[in-house]
Amino acid sequence: MTTTATELDQHYAVSAQDVARYAEDGFVKLRGVLSPDVVARYEPEITEQVIRLNTQHLPLSERDTYSRAFLQVINLWRHSDRVREFAFSRRLAGIAAQLLGVPAVRLYHDQALYKEAGGGITPWHVDQHYWPLSSDRTVTVWVPLQDTPQELGPLTLAAGSHRSEYGRELAIGDESQARLDAFVTESGYRVDDSPYAIGDVSFHSGWTIHRAPPNTSATPRRVMTVIYMDAAIEVTRPTNRYQEADLAAFLGGRPVGSVADGPLNPVLWSA
């Protein structure tokens, strides 16, 4: 008998077309990867942990652009066995490995990204600016915990932008929004801002330029993400203060040149 917990560990065969699309675009959206029952099982616990662990209590009007974008809570799996089941899903990790073309993937970290009702834009940015890692074999799964039409602020991705090195030095904020918005427009990248139905997920590369529009609805946009990395990836010397912080917080202070196999980085899927 299939249960919601076992569904999270069932193999999902990614098509050759989707692997090729990921390589070409730097992301892929997959429809119906999770059943509505799975999302319904885990959403209340993820939301409860976000409410409990959130440290942002200023009103939206008093926050900067980054803080208006979302409530961000990292490594929820360390606080809840139920969230750990979700974050350690072999189904999702296996898809990540297939897209990256690697035999095994580790956890970098999970994070909930809840865009409050009335929450602002998530500026254009690239994730790997923050990660002291040796290759581009990184990928984030973006899992909406409800239907996510345009008014809730779905993830928006610039197809093919992972092959450009423009803007990789930019932290997320007003400058990244202005410069990358101009770059995406001038470069003619196809922009995918299509809605997500419950159970749809997307995977995007660490170097793919992406953003999200504001949440103009009266309800929060609830999203859970997990970042995966090639199990053989190595730690590199941090090039900015954010990478220094990540090295200490998520990679156990591993030495430069060593495999990124800290205590918070278990292998989640291996062939």
Structure confidence by residue, pLDDT tens digits, 71-122: 999 999 999 999 999 999 999 999 999 999 999 999 999 999 999 999 999 9
Q: 21 vs 6, which has greater pLDDT?
A: 21
- Whether residue 211 has pLDDT greater than 70: yes
Q: 155 vs 57, which has greater pLDDT?
A: 155
Q: pTM for the complete prediction?
A: 0.95
- Whether residue 208 has pLDDT greater than 80: yes
DSSP element (H, E) containing 235: none
The C-alpha atoms of residue 171 and residue 32 are separated, in whole angstroms, by 33
Q: What is the pLDDT of residue 6?
A: 84
The C-alpha atoms of residue 159 and residue 156 are separated, in whole angstroms, by 10
- Whether residue 252 has pLDDT greater than 80: yes
β strands within the chain, DSSP E: 27-30, 71-74, 104-114, 122-125, 138-144, 156-158, 191-192, 201-205, 210-212, 223-230, 267-270
pLDDT in tens, 144-198: 999 999 999 999 999 999 999 999 999 999 999 999 999 999 999 999 999 999 9
User: H helices of the chain, where?
Assistant: 4-7, 16-25, 36-53, 65-69, 81-87, 90-100, 174-187, 241-250
Give the pLDDT band of residue 61 (cuts 50, 70, 90): very high
Q: What is the pLDDT of residue 2?
A: 52
Q: What is the pLDDT of residue 3?
A: 62
Residue-range domains of the chain with CATH: 4-259 (2.60.120.620)
- Whether residue 1 has pLDDT greater than 50: no
The C-alpha atoms of residue 213 and residue 54 are separated, in whole angstroms, by 22
pLDDT in tens, 16-54: 999 999 999 999 999 999 999 999 999 999 999 999 999
- Whether residue 244 has pLDDT greater than 50: yes
- When the pLDDT of each residue in the chain is averaged and rounded to a whole number, the result is 96
| Residue 96 near residue 203, CB atoms below 8 Å | yes
